[in-house]
Chain A
Amino acid sequence: MDGIHDLGGKPGYGPVVRETNEPVFHNLWEAKVFSFLRGASIAGAWYSTDRFRHLIERIDPEAYLTHGYYGRWLGGIETGLVEAGIVTQDEINRKVQQLGGDSTDLVAARPRPDPDPLGEIPAYDGSQRDVSNPLFHTGQRVRTSAVGKPGHTRLPAYARDKVGTVVTWHQGWVYPDTNAHGQGEDPQHLYTVQFTGNELWGDEAENVKINLDLFEPYIMEESM
């Protein structure tokens, strides 16, 4: 999905600010949000990390940039809980007001009235699956898909329609593009594909190699 989360190569975000002696959690609420994960997923707000990532991608874009990492999680968790019918936003809004919160504050969650089906509960914890007959081999030149998808996908926009070289084959994995939408695991081969800086960013690029882990449907054969 084209969205604010797809940050690779985007200009304008300024310097990286590092903290010395950074705490694991900066505020108690961040740890609280982390602790919601277990109960929310057991209750059926989502069944997979793919789904959870997509919930976060869909939050309010301004909140994505300003609410911090756990603020993004909070938006994703709330979206999932509401879409699954476990809580309502009215319920949360009322509670926020009871606690003295401001009803005009930006809410990160963006639940849809017609959410995707949840899909099946995974058989076991983990996303590696047996798949046979990989289409590509290490050393092979491949071109990535030029088309952005409307839903969840793990091909970043900066690597669309680019030529790279397969450097590793990682065997079969659950396919996020279907799994996030409750359309089944549809396992796919996964490859690390290496791109030059020039291929991704043009002639002025630095001397750098960028490696991405790409699912087989994202790539096609590129003639030499």
Chain B
Amino acid sequence: MSDDHDHKQEPQAIRAEALEAILMEKGLLKPEDVDEVIARYSERVGPLNGARIVARAWKESDFKKRLLADGTAAIADYDLEGGEVQKLVVVENTPTVHNAVVCTLCSCYPWAVLGLPPRWYKDPAYRSRIVREPRKLLAEMGLALDEEIEIRVWDSSAEVRYMVLPMQPPNTDHMDQEALAALVTRDSMIGVAHLDG
């Protein structure tokens, strides 16, 4: 992260600084609040949580069954922080079905399992196009899908949050969960990438 003095040209930066000063004067903000936000979303809440869940689903068929049947209950004992997931639905990619997640109305995203979303997920291009021309857009993003593969897009328009269970890369059955989790990318759990072994 760059120091904010590099970005004086952004009007938002100065306005944020102004509001910060006012909220502090009013006792509505403490200097350590921003550090807590940075620590939480840099260190504790991020896509590694989702990656571990994916790797476990690949290894344990019983867990996978529970995860797909009721994602919220299946991840309950993970004690995830980060809020934003009152109900989790996990959708499975197969050789014939590909899933992708979006929020066209704002930028809803399963923070507790994937952390904060990347910029492109929140930008107008992805939000406008993935519901209208997903095959074309995914191809542009490097994921070419055969015509016969059905694409299912999940537009999170309420409080249900969606995560994609990507297909396990070939020739990785011998790997343990921790090693498998390291292969799982954030983009594969949003549904805009496949995984290589």
Contact = CB atoms under 8 A, between A and B. Distances in A.
Interface stretch (A31-39, A110-118, A134-142): A31-39
Contacts of A74: 12, 15-16, 19
Interface residues of B, number: 74
A65 interface: yes
Contacts of A17: 120, 123, 125
Interface stretch (B1-9, B56-64, B174-182): B1-9
Contacts of B133: 206
B73 interface: no
A68 B37 contact: no
Contacts, number: 247
Dominant SS at the A interface? mixed
Q: Which of A11, A24, A201 has the most CB of B within 10 A?
A: A24
A211 B154 CA distance: 5
Given A18-B118, A156-B155, A173-B159, A95 B18 contact: yes
Contacts of A28: 1-4, 34
Contact of A154 (B118, B126, B128, B158): B158
Interface of B: 1-4, 6-8, 10-23, 26, 28-29, 33-34, 36-38, 41-42, 46, 86-87, 89, 104-107, 115-116, 118-120, 122-129, 131-137, 140-141, 147, 150-160, 187
Interface of A: 5-19, 22-29, 31-36, 38-40, 42-43, 49, 53, 56-57, 65, 67-71, 74, 77-78, 81, 86-87, 91-92, 95-96, 98-102, 105-108, 126-128, 154-156, 158, 168, 170, 173, 176, 190, 192, 200-201, 205-215
23 contacts: A5-B105, A8-B104, A11-B128, A22-B119, A26-B2, A29-B7, A31-B37, A36-B20, A43-B28, A86-B28, A92-B19, A95-B19, A96-B14, A99-B17, A102-B11, A105-B11, A105-B14, A154-B157, A192-B160, A200-B132, A207-B135, A208-B153, A210-B152
